[in-house]
Structure 1
């Protein structure tokens, strides 16, 4: 049996129902594969519109990226709207731009409607290390405001010094519609909401095969689900279940550590307003405080999703570069989690045949997007496909070198961008 990894989130999760494994045959309108944010969001929207839904999870609810991520509510996509505008026709770009700020609203609505206890805090900061990055943030503010997103405040050197207790940054951009949550408790709360609406959830029930056709059947080791529609929401943890979805994406790992609980004075000195922070580097660092005043600090990317032997050795130096005052602080938890990278760094959304839908490839920017994806997928299954089609029309390409060479080629490209970050060019 697969249990949650030994993360801070697993150690501090709320009490919750353990869902049974699937045995035997069940019938449903929609079978959702994956009980992370994409799958749970899809299931909730469908249940709210009268569909019967069965969710299959290979391990535990929130086992993958949804229960391991940095817990930051960050708007837009891994590639911002300006990149989308350069690639796409105006109407499609406009639709995608309008949706870029919807995921965070969905999260807050879910928390309020279903009384999910997940330590929601408002406010997120993009921190600039160079003048060039600060210029990008100024342009980003204008771009987002053009789409009606106005909860933004530029920070100069003095301003960012008031919200982050480090002298590393030249300035930043504060987004008050950003924020942070306990990600695993959000997933567990959404799963409880699914169950409360009559949805069926099965853990330890990996999908092993999909029989395609007019009435698809999803098989597990000990059962099967007969459905009108299938939604594939496994992302980096899907494996080889749907070969077409593996060709243009690559699992990657990111590492996180959590300190011991800090004194109130120390915690306030690091992040006085309790905002979350991510820097503007290509391989970025991200950090925030937990509800019990631990610093959660993440960063780095391992292409191909290998688990590093010593996560603390990778992340602790990054943390101390930002907060040298933590040099004597003990690290209580370290873990890694996988996300799914696409070459374009934009999500892949589509349909296989008439009745198998999918969304994947958030490229490290998934907390808000996955909640939007659930709404968009549910709309498509209800016959309202305009927003689904806007995502499905995004161009996607295979990684250079194919399956064999995609990891070294991508790592080489990342090294180039990392060097540019260091040189400030």
Structure 2
């Protein structure tokens, strides 16, 4: 992994540690003129690149249009945690959509992480892959809930979960706040921007073309679809819309079913090896069990990357460090005065159901969005499923697209305050141990 340098030689990204330490800072060309491909993909994040790589491996010609840079959005800004499953557990999915759907989604629930590991191995992607994740519980109630999730998940074949008692916490994380927790041995963490850049290189090695700074300005959803940009167009047999929280107003029929939500990340100065190893001896990524949660992990150059916070509607706080550093200091008092070298914010797409939304705008235009905070793994899975559907194997796509999706109550005007009110209530429950 490259040591972080100035962001000046990697323009167009958020001011993140990821952008500073990216292995590949190549700027791809802007689309100029009219071109053709079998498939045109809007968005060069995990969903779009995963779909494109799936199709290129099957011999399709692929063009990806990115409004900014590869991994500009959540794919290149997230906490870098491989968290299995979905934003709602399989028991909730069964109660909402029926046991048959829960079984089918359960069978896919570990696949996203497996896709990541397979592509890292197949294409030799240098993204600091580490294995293992930990869910930290503050209360006995949260421990009981974790144990129940573990038992239900094991019914769907997940055999990598292990409950951890408070006495055993020092082997995983040195924090006095926690009452226990659960290890997921199929979890892990990565440098997400280097992962998506490596996957993009793999796509290009198979003949795929990626155009940066080429924002889609219009989409023809007819039998011969096309996508327009400011300086050109792509004519294709299929179009895949993978813009997620950064889709903007391009396709309101999709955008109205999701809401951008911001999360913030800070990264400390490099710590000495003994300090970071003492705090996170197992080198697992960690997230806590609160509704508005904190998450953190060790980086390859021995920094602590710590994230949290939430901004419905995608608003960034006035001072990211002031918002997040107190949480870091509470979790690890010994780091309270450490210098913060990087601080950034980024948006993910939230659906009202907190379940990803897949579907079609026509027989030639497919979309996927709304991973609702579990995007690292689900985007890889759903991108692959988009590729399967285009290549004539839509069975798994049909499962996802059959799930009902609803707009947020209150429309664009009131969805933010109503959602924030709900988050306040659940946050209060966490504080009161309810």
Instruction: State the TM-score bracket (shorter-chain normalisation).
Output: over 0.9
2:68 to 59, 62, 65: 59
Counterpart of 1:259? 268
Counterpart of 1:102? 111
1:313 equivalent to 2:315? Answer no
- 8 Å contact 1:161–1:167 — kept in the other structure? no
Counterpart CA distance in 2 for 1:2 and 1:334 is 16
1:127-186 deviation per Cα after TM superposition (whole angstroms, max 9, x unaligned):
101111101110111112111111111101012232111111111110111000001000
1:130 to 134, 139, 154: 139
Counterpart CA distance in 2 for 1:241 and 1:3 is 20
RMSD: 1.0
Q: Please state whether the residue corresponding to 1:389 is helix, strand or coil.
A: helix
Shift of the alpha carbon at 1:16?
Answer: 4.1
Counterpart CA distance in 1 for 2:225 and 2:82 is 35
Q: Please state whether the residue corresponding to 2:428 is helix, strand or coil.
A: helix
Shift of the alpha carbon at 1:272?
Answer: 0.5
Counterpart of 2:418? 409
Counterpart CA distance in 2 for 1:266 and 1:252 is 33
1:353-387 deviation per Cα after TM superposition (whole angstroms, max 9, x unaligned):
10110000011110000000111111111221111
Q: How does 1:43-122 map to 2 (within 5 A)?
A: 43-122=52-131
**Gap runs ≥5 in structure 1:** none
2:179 to 150, 170, 194: 170
- 8 Å contact 1:2–1:59 — kept in the other structure? no
1:69-108 deviation per Cα after TM superposition (whole angstroms, max 9, x unaligned):
0000000001111111111133222111111110000000
Counterpart CA distance in 2 for 1:11 and 1:386 is 41
Q: Please state whether the residue corresponding to 1:208 is helix, strand or coil.
A: strand
Per the normalisation by structure 1, the TM-score is 0.99
- 8 Å contact 1:128–1:171 — kept in the other structure? yes
Paired residue total: 425
Counterpart CA distance in 1 for 2:386 and 2:257 is 20
Shift of the alpha carbon at 1:301?
Answer: 0.4
Shift of the alpha carbon at 1:33?
Answer: 0.3
2:18 to 5, 9, 14: 9
2:30 to 4, 12, 21: 21
Per the normalisation by structure 2, the TM-score is 0.97
Counterpart of 2:288? 279
Q: How does 1:267-416 map to 2 (within 5 A)?
A: 267-416=276-425
